[in-house]
Amino acid sequence: PPPTSGTRDAFNELVMEGGCKAFPWIAALPRNEYLAACHTLRDDGHYIEAGENDNLIVQKLEASPKQVGVFGYSFLEQNADKVQGAHIDGVAPEFDSIAEGEYPVSRPLYFYVKKAHIARVPGIREYLAEFTSETASGEFGYLTDNGLIPLADEERAEMQAQAKNLTELRLGNP
């Protein structure tokens, strides 16, 4: 994924830094050196930047099955007849393993609204209500068609209540 992508951020944090942490001498580097070492992809031709074009990544994987591509779960699911997901630490990238937080290369989606904007931005309260509704982010919500893996019922109800009540974010409470 390109450097501007949230997927790239997650890749750097979960994969690249995860690998770096296995080497004590890298983990002990000063922060700026650590990030430079752990967020830099090889430039010897083995890594190919494909931008945000997931279809192109699938085409490249079909043409050269020994390659590895990085894209979101929904695209993996849509192309299951052409590509297979990578097992990480013995865990397959499947709906349940991601939903339960077991697949190590997955991340939650956080949705933040600046409270000061509630009164200033028309429709923001309605947008927040729609995004957190069962119709959108519930177990069978339309966002699941776009790759969202919904929270468990209890967690989802808690997030819906926080959105409705505009609960302020507190450190340690995403």
Distance of CA 73 to the CA centre of its chain: 9
> What pLDDT, on the 0 to 100 scale, is given for residue 173?
54
Closest CA to 61 of 40, 79, 88, 42: 79
Count other Cβ atoms within 10 Å, centred on residue 149. 21
Residue type, 24: P
Closest CA to 69 of 88, 54, 91: 54
Distances 88 to 75, 95, 135, 172 between C-alpha atoms, Å: 18, 14, 32, 27
Q: Please state, in angstroms and rounded to a whole number, the distance separating the CA atoms of residues 111 and 126.
A: 14
Q: List residues bridging with 170 in a β-sheet.
A: 173
> What pLDDT, on the 0 to 100 scale, is given for residue 145?
83
Distances 107 to 7, 46, 122, 148 between C-alpha atoms, Å: 9, 26, 30, 11
pLDDT in tens, the chain (174 residues): 788 888 888 889 999 998 999 999 999 999 999 999 999 988 898 888 887 888 888 998 999 888 898 888 888 999 999 999 999 999 999 999 999 999 999 988 888 888 889 999 999 999 999 999 999 999 999 998 888 899 999 999 999 999 999 988 877 655
